[in-house]
Amino acid sequence: MRLSEGARKINRHGGAIFIHEDRREEWAIEISAVADLPQSPIVPIEIRDFVYGRLIELSPAERYRGLLISGEKGLRARGLSECHFGNYGGLPAGSRERDRLARQLLQETSGQFPGADSLLGVPGFWKDHGGIHLWKPKDYLLPRLLIPVRDEAGRIQACQMRLPLAAKNGVRYLWLSSSDLPHGCGSGSPLHYKFHFADLPRDAQIVIVEGVLKADVLSALRPDLHIVATPCVTANHDALVELTHRRRTWIAFDADSYSNEAVCFHLAALIAKRMRREKTLATTRIALWDGRVKGIDDAAVRNFPITSISVRSWLNRLSPHFRQIAVARFAELSAFPIKTKNRSGLQVR
């Protein structure tokens, strides 16, 4: 959804939609079949927090240390250290082992929450005539890293999964979801907080990053920052705008906003929505770091300086084509004008 070239349309969130003509009818059948499956309403956060917390304890990432922690793309290589590894789980590759975990979690959850209807309503779990299951009914070659996604009070509201190796389609992160399985449910794409909102000082500055694990790494290296993560550049703009209302905010999306049209488009959209809500640009800054690395977490790992620039300066750094994309997005979202003059001759007031 970050790529727009060749897309059939752009959805209301700015995501690019591609349709492969030779599979359109087949997909329509698949989508119809999924829509007919019985689904469970998501359970309260207290149950999800307990189930996911116990899942990580029962199957920690340490169980697959060589792959998920010490591997080439493991937690250690990302910049985390020994004291952080216990925060993550390892989802077994085999369906039999996952089913065993599901049965144990069912027993423990029933004891902890007598009124709960088994594990139905916890994203990632589903039920058929064979009982309760966790994730897909198939075996995989490798385990997956389980990354807890925490709410504003520190509770685990959902889990992301990270493949140890990039898939053929380039997708590496997935939600632990069961929305396409009987009596399952989806996780949504919630924000991930690295602070307790109730304890946030009124004058605190919030840093918005793109990616849950990225937020964990940055927080581990820069514990002084108040960080919130959105799973991708397209998601949760309205929630971010409300969270950061009347607060100083740094937006730290990956540095490819200067080279990727979709990222530039979505960053401009978030800026415009904040501008419309705050009635000023003074509280919005764009994070800046050494261009040799893509993400702010990579900059922190390498101890590169991390600073910020104004929205006006960010616009002036863009190429004329990308600046036009950003300005058009501002206009589309009815953001009030920015007073600046750019190199392309566009007058942005």
CATH topology for the 193-348 domain:
Dna Topoisomerase Vi A Subunit; Chain: A, domain 2 (3.40.1360)
Handedness of CA 173, 158, 213, 193 (dihedral sign): positive
Q: 126-168, pLDDT tens digit by residue?
A: 999 999 999 999 999 999 999 999 999 999 999 999 998 877 7
**Do the strands 340-341 and 347-348 form a parallel or antiparallel pair, or are they unpaired?**
antiparallel
pLDDT at 345: 42
Q: Do residues 289 and 299 touch, judged by C-beta distance below 8 A?
A: yes
* Beta strands, E only, 233-306: 249-252, 284-288
pLDDT at 29 over 50: no
**Nearest CA-CA partner of 163 in 44, 67, 79, 30:** 67
Banded pLDDT at 346 (limits 50, 70, 90): very low
Distances (CA, A) of 1 to 15, 107, 242: 5, 40, 24
Q: 100-109, pLDDT tens digit by residue?
A: 999 999 999 9
pLDDT at 300 over 50: yes
pLDDT at 22 over 70: no
pLDDT at 334: 74
Assessment of whether the complete model's pTM goes beyond 0.85: yes
- Boundaries of every domain in the chain: 45-175, 193-348
pLDDT at 21: 47
DSSP, collapsed to helix, strand or coil, labels residue 149 as strand
Averaged over 211-239, what is the pLDDT? 96
pLDDT at 268 over 50: yes
Distances (CA, A) of 337 to 5, 54, 105, 240, 247: 28, 50, 54, 21, 21
Averaged over 294-323, what is the pLDDT? 96
Q: 72-125, pLDDT tens digit by residue?
A: 889 999 999 999 999 999 999 999 999 999 999 999 999 999 877 679 999 999
Averaged over 235-239, what is the pLDDT? 95
* CATH architecture for residues 45-175: Alpha-Beta Complex (3.90)
pLDDT at 32 over 70: no
Averaged over 303-324, what is the pLDDT? 96
